[in-house]
Amino acid sequence: MIFAKAGDAKRLDPADINEGESSAVTDNLFDTLVKFAPGSTRLVPDLATSWTLSPDGRSWTFELRPHVRFQDGTPFDAAAVVENFDRQRHPLSGQIFEYWQDFFADTVEDMTAIGPLAVRFTLKKPDATFLSNLAMFSEGMVSPAAIRRWGADIGRHPVGTGPFRFVEWIPNEKIVLAANRDYWGGRPYLDRLIFIPVPDPEVRLLELEVGEIDGMEGLSPDDVPQVLKDPELSLLTQPGMNVGYLALNTMKPPLDDARVRLAICEAIDEQALVKAFFAGGELGDAATGLLPPTVWGFDPEIPAYPHDPRHARALLAEAGYPHGLSLSLWALPVARPYIPDGERVAEAIQAELAQVGIRVQLATYEWGTYLDKLADGDHQMAMVGWIGDNGDPDNFLYNMLASANARIGSASNYSFYRNPEVDALLTRAREVGDRAERTRLYWQAQVLIHRDAPVVPLFNARQLAAFRANVHGFALHPTGQKDFWRTWISGGGR
Amino acid sequence: MIGYLLRRLALVVPILLGVTLVVFLAIRLVPGDPARVMLGERANPTTLAEVRAELGLDRPLPVQFGTYLVHLARGDLGRSIATGEPVGQLIAERFPATVELGLAAMLIACAVGVPLGVVAAVRRNAPEDYLATAGSLAGVSMPIFWLGLLLMGVFSADLRWLPLSGRLAIVYDMPHVTGLYLVDGLLTGSWTAWVSALRHLVLPAVTLATVPAAAIARMTRGAMLDVLGAEHIRTARAKGLSEAAVTVRHALATAAIPIATVIGLQLGYLLSGAVITETVFSWPGVGSLAVEAVFARDLPLLQGCALVFAASFALVNLATDMLYFRLDPRIRKTNR
């Protein structure tokens, strides 16, 4: 099976990567303690068979799967788990364990092997997202023998417990994996899984059409109809775990007035934007809130803001702007999955807001400056977005709307939204362990957020992949994971 | 000759220093914090500080530049941010692919450009001339990515004569000797892989050859026209030499210097990263490496690529100058 991506992997050390070109490969080499169920962010056992949380919410105990070996023959056990997390605490020169920093450094106090196949994590404070964090690709279990042997070069010599083992990596030509015949879950159907980088999307599609490759990601939206027409190809789409939105800076008048913000929400027609910018709706959906529907805790009861220019005008008049007002809008300077063409989307929004009497000046900055200025709160309205990491609502709502993240200079709450009620709900939801309880808390928070309208939710982009029609058993995952374990090719393959 | 060579070599050093400084400043003075760009939406204060420290961005500019030069003098180009590998190693891995593609393209460009220019000059204002001139104009103006896709569409997708992209069919592994696959295949007797490497080379080399071929043809035509009117040509004709002998032995030999100059310049361009061609054909050379470095905001890698481009350009130019010694007796005399 040959799968083409837009670029080569950077490293094959799961803890030391932060992008999809590398994780697409490591997903097949490594297992995590818990993993996301197919098609959802529900958690199921992987290298851990069961787990318990202490009543004070600070101590997680995991029973590990017995008789699992790394691809180098060394056993997977509690000591291996401890060593994997220990090394992330003490990076070697050149290593930046970004996910460890973001998701574990502040919460994990210690981990101990309490038996050959039992591990206990002690947390500094209760963290309801801890289990989801363990399912991220970054927490794949690497062979300690290999870590010791290769040091900082482990990213070129990956050894895990996953369904495929590493064979060779010729930079920018190919990465070859072979079936791990001893895989604890049963050997994969494919004998070989080869990743090749093909930067140009049109060339990638040509290669798929002539059969030089079996599958590809990064399909250009314009090519979707062509793939749909071709009986030898199949198109996979999957709602992604992302959101593109307009942050309304609630510190800056007139955006400190919720009526003005609501008027903006009602003036923008997300459905029309999705049709125009996401291949007629084939590649994306209109967002109704900051939480995408693929993440549990999403409240399906909350409606999208209606597209109602007349009511928007009335709201503006009520807020004291019967003759309209002027605002600036920052266009996203780079193509991101959640907003593929910031400048053109900005122009469309400008035209829609003009309908209700809001005169919009467009502006944009180089990406690094853009993010800096956003964190400083220099904007009035700005396009931005988020791609989820661990499938937990906290990863979206707390990051983007909690007042703890509204500190000028290092904000990720770009609306600078500060609502003590919402804060209390979001904080409580990251501490209690029970998912039903957490869901209830997030539903309450979403109702308040919808009323206050600190952001205009715009898009949830879908993921896309195209395969030869004889490839079966592959499914896209909301987290962007690429798992080829149960994939097979009919007609004998290559 | 040796003295001249040394003087010219000594000149390359300040050029490279200048390039290093310009690239260094260009990368650092563009607005935006590189660490912020690398981390994107996910940046938090701790990781930002870590990345800045890793890149040395927390130190003053002169200190950063000084450190870079000291490392450079030791042959250390730093480590890539994206992969953690030494930049020198990454470039060394990819450079042979660029050299192979560049040389193949230059071979094609000369084989096409020189005869085309000669014919155009000899048959001046005849239909052949117009055809050759129109052809080279088209060659110079053709957008390369478009031509690449067009050739791919016709010869790979429709006719299926040649592979679409890459350097070698996935089933083969080329034993590594020089990194030039065509040479390695011959040296190790890996014939099937050699054929595959050759088939992969054809389309990108032809694509990359169009601009230099056109430039060489135009220069050859012009230089030949200058020479064909000269008195020694009339003498050669008067001696009763055949027209072919006059054209090749007397006219082309005299016109060789400007032609060699344009070939040298073009080769410099080819070796300093066929960025577009390498990207369209997924050719794993330094050009596509530089593109990846830009997208990943990999400063040390980008800096290393730019330096290697400048160095190869300067060295090819130097080699061209050396070639003048062979071609022009006058330079030999004045510089002895």
Residue A15 DSSP symbol: G
CB B167 within 8 A of CB B160: no
A167 to chain B, any CB pair closer than 8 A? The answer is no
On the question of pLDDT at A381 being above 50, the answer is: yes
A471-472 vs A284-286, strand pairing mode: unpaired
Distance in Å, alpha carbon of B271 to nearest chain A alpha carbon: 18
**Neighboring chain B residues of A94 at a CB cutoff of 8 Å:** 54, 79, 84
Put simply, the answer to whether A371 touches B281 (Cβ < 8 Å) is no
Q: Do B280 and A200 touch (CB under 8 A)?
A: yes
Where residue B336 falls among pLDDT bands split at 50, 70, 90?
very low
Task: Supply the pTM of this predicted model.
Answer: 0.87
What is the pLDDT at residue B273? 61
A30-39, A280-289, A308-317, B80-89: least confident range: B80-89
Q: Is A366 on the interface with B (CB under 8 A)?
A: yes
User: For residues A305 and A265, is the Cβ–Cβ distance under 8 A?
Assistant: yes
Beta carbons of A11 and B84 less than 8 Å apart: yes
Distance from C-alpha of B96 to C-alpha of B324, rounded to nearest angstrom: 27
State yes or no: pLDDT of B19 exceeds 50: yes
pLDDT, average across residues B183-193: 89
Instruction: Determine contact: A408 vs chain B, CB below 8 A.
Output: no
Q: Residue A254 in contact with residue A325, Cβ under 8 Å?
A: yes
Say whether B47 and A198 touch across the interface (CB within 8 A): no
Cβ contacts of A173 on chain B, cutoff 8 Å: 166-168, 284
Residue that wins the pLDDT comparison between B311 and B296: B311
Pairwise CB contact (< 8 Å): A155 & B84: yes
Among B36, B163, B284, beta carbon nearest to A368: B36
For residue A132, pLDDT over 70 is answered with yes
Summarize pLDDT for A168-185 with one digit per residue, the tens: 999 888 999 999 999 999
**Mean local confidence (pLDDT), A27-47:** 94
Select, from the ranges A97-101, A424-428, B120-124, the one with the highest average predicted confidence (pLDDT).
A424-428
Q: What is the pLDDT of residue A492?
A: 60
pLDDT score of A458: 97
Interface test with A, best of B164, B184, B203 (most A CBs within 10 A): B164
For residue B166, which residues of chain A lie inside 8 Å, CB to CB? 173, 196, 198
For A397, how many CA atoms within 13 A lie in the half-sphere containing its CB? 34
Report ipTM for this prediction: 0.81
| Per-residue confidence band for B334, with pLDDT thresholds at 50, 70 and 90 | low
Band (pLDDT 50/70/90 cuts) for residue B58 is: confident
Kindly report the nearest CA distance between residue A115 and chain B, in angstroms.
Answer: 34
Residues of A in contact with B45 (CB under 8 A): 410
Name the burial class of residue A56, with classes exposed (0-12), middle (13-18) and buried (19+) by CB atoms within 10 angstroms of its CB: exposed
Residue B269: which residues within 8 A CB-CB, separation 6 or more? B212, B313
Q: Do residues B34 and B56 touch, judged by C-beta distance below 8 A?
A: no
Pairing of strands A242-248, A2-5: unpaired
User: Sign of the CA dihedral B181, B187, B190, B196?
Assistant: positive
Residue A112 has pLDDT above 70, yes or no: yes
Burial A377-408, CB ≥16 within 10 A → b, else e:
bbbbbbbbbbbbbbbbbbbbbbbbbbbebbee
Q: Quick check: A369 contacting B, CB < 8 Å?
A: yes
Q: Which residues of B touch A387 (CB under 8 A)?
A: 41
Quote the CA–CA distance of A352 and A273 in Å, as a whole number: 10
pLDDT band at A161 (very low <50, low <70, confident <90, very high): very high
Averaged over B99-112, what is the pLDDT? 94
Distance from CA of B282 to the nearest CA of A (A): 5
Judging contacts by C-beta atoms under 8 Å, the chain A residues touching residue B90 are: 171
Residue A118: half-sphere exposure toward Cβ, Cα within 13 Å:
7
pLDDT surpassing 70 at residue B285: yes
Q: Is the pLDDT of residue A403 over 50?
A: yes
pLDDT at A250: 97
Taking the Cβ of residue A376 and every Cβ of chain B, the question of whether any pair is shorter than 8 Å is answered with no
What whole-number percentage of chain B has pLDDT above 70? 97
Residue B113 has pLDDT above 80, yes or no: yes
Block residue for tokens 């300093």 = B272
Encode pLDDT of A404-433 as tens digits.
Answer: 999 998 899 999 999 999 999 999 999 888
Which whole number is the average pLDDT over A241-254? 95
Sign of CA dihedral B190, B195, B200, B204: positive
Compare CB distances from A173 to B47, B90, B284 and report the shortest one's residue: B284
Pairwise CB contact (< 8 Å): B41 & A384: yes
Share of chain A above pLDDT 70, in %: 99
CA distance A214 to A367: 35
Which chain B residues have a beta carbon less than 8 Å from that of A155? 83-84
Mean pLDDT of chain A: 93
User: Which DSSP state fits A152?
Assistant: G
With a CB cutoff of 8 Å and minimum separation 6, the contacts of A55 are none
Average pLDDT for residues B180-193, to the nearest whole number?
90
Nearest-by-CA chain B residue for A374: B41
Report the C-alpha gap between B165 and B155 in whole angstroms. 12
- Long-range Cβ contacts of A207-212 (<8 Å, 24+ apart): A207/A4, A207/B164, A207/B165, A208/A4, A208/A233, A208/A466, A208/A467, A208/A468, A209/A233, A209/B157, A210/B156, A210/B157, A210/B160, A210/B164, A211/A468, A212/A2, A212/B163, A212/B164
Please check whether residue A404 touches B, CB under 8 A.
Answer: no
A222 interfacial to chain B (CB closer than 8 Å): no
Q: How many CB atoms lie within 10 A of CB B145?
A: 15
Cβ-defined contact of A366 to B46 (cutoff 8 Å) = no
Q: What is the pLDDT of residues B202-243, one digit of tens each?
A: 999 999 999 999 999 999 999 988 888 888 888 888 888 888
Q: What is the mean pLDDT of chain B?
A: 86
